[in-house]
Amino acid sequence: MRVSTIVAIIFSGLIVLSVTIPSGSEDEMNYRELTPEEEHVILDGGTEAPFTGEYVDHSEKGIYLCRRCGAELYTSDSKFPSHCGWPSFDDEIEGAIERRPDPDGIRMEILCAACGAHLGHVFTGEGYTPADTRHCVNSISMIFQPAITEETAIFAGGCFWGLEHLFMQQEGVLKTEAGYTGGELEEPSYQNVCSGTTGHTEAVRIVFDPSIVSYEKLAKLFFEIHDPTQINRQGADTGTQYRSAVFYTSEEQKVTAERLVDLLNDSGYRVVTEIEPVSVFWPAEDYHQQYYEKNNINSRCSLRVRRFND
Is a pLDDT exceeding 60 seen at residue 22?
no
Q: Which of 5-19, 21-35, 293-307 has the highest average model confidence (pLDDT)?
A: 293-307
Catalytic positions, please? 136, 159
Is a pLDDT exceeding 60 seen at residue 25?
no
With beta carbons less than 8 A apart as the criterion, state whether 140 and 67 touch.
Answer: yes
Is a pLDDT exceeding 90 seen at residue 6?
no
At residue 155 the predicted structure's pLDDT band, cuts being 50, 70 and 90, is very high
Interval 258-262 mean pLDDT? 98
Share of the chain above pLDDT 70, in %: 89
Q: State the chain's mean pLDDT as an integer.
A: 90
Mutual orientation of helices 160-168 and 215-224 as an angle, nearest 10°?
140
At residue 5 the predicted structure's pLDDT band, cuts being 50, 70 and 90, is very low
Q: Measuring CA to CA, which residue among 180, 140, 138, 137 is closest to residue 156?
A: 180
Q: How do residues 101-114 score in pLDDT, each as one tens digit? A: 999 999 999 999 99
Predicted confidence at residue 11, as pLDDT, reads: 34
Interval 202-230 mean pLDDT? 96
Burial of 233 (0-12, 13-18, 19+ CB in 10 A): middle
Interval 160-184 mean pLDDT? 95
Share of the chain above pLDDT 90, in %: 83
Interval 2-16 mean pLDDT? 36
At residue 29 the predicted structure's pLDDT band, cuts being 50, 70 and 90, is low
Predicted confidence at residue 192, as pLDDT, reads: 97
Per-residue HEC secondary structure of the chain comes to CCCCEEEEEEECCEEEEEEECCCCCHHHHCCCCCCHHHHHHHCCCCCCCCCCCCCCCCCCCEEEEECCCCCEEEEHHHECCCCCCCCEECCCCCCCEEEEECCCCCCEEEEECCCCCEEEEEEECCCCCCCCEEEEECHHHEEEEECCCCEEEEEEECCHHHHHHHHHCCCCEEEEEEEEECCCCCCCCHHHHHCCCCCCEEEEEEEECCCCCCHHHHHHHHHHCCCCCCCCEECCEECHHHCEEEEECCHHHHHHHHHHHHHHHHCCCCCCCEEEECCCCEECCHHHCCHHHHHCCCCCCCCCCCCCCC
Q: Which domains does the chain have, with CATH numbers?
A: 5-146 (2.170.150.20), 151-295 (3.30.1060.10)
Interval 68-73 mean pLDDT? 97
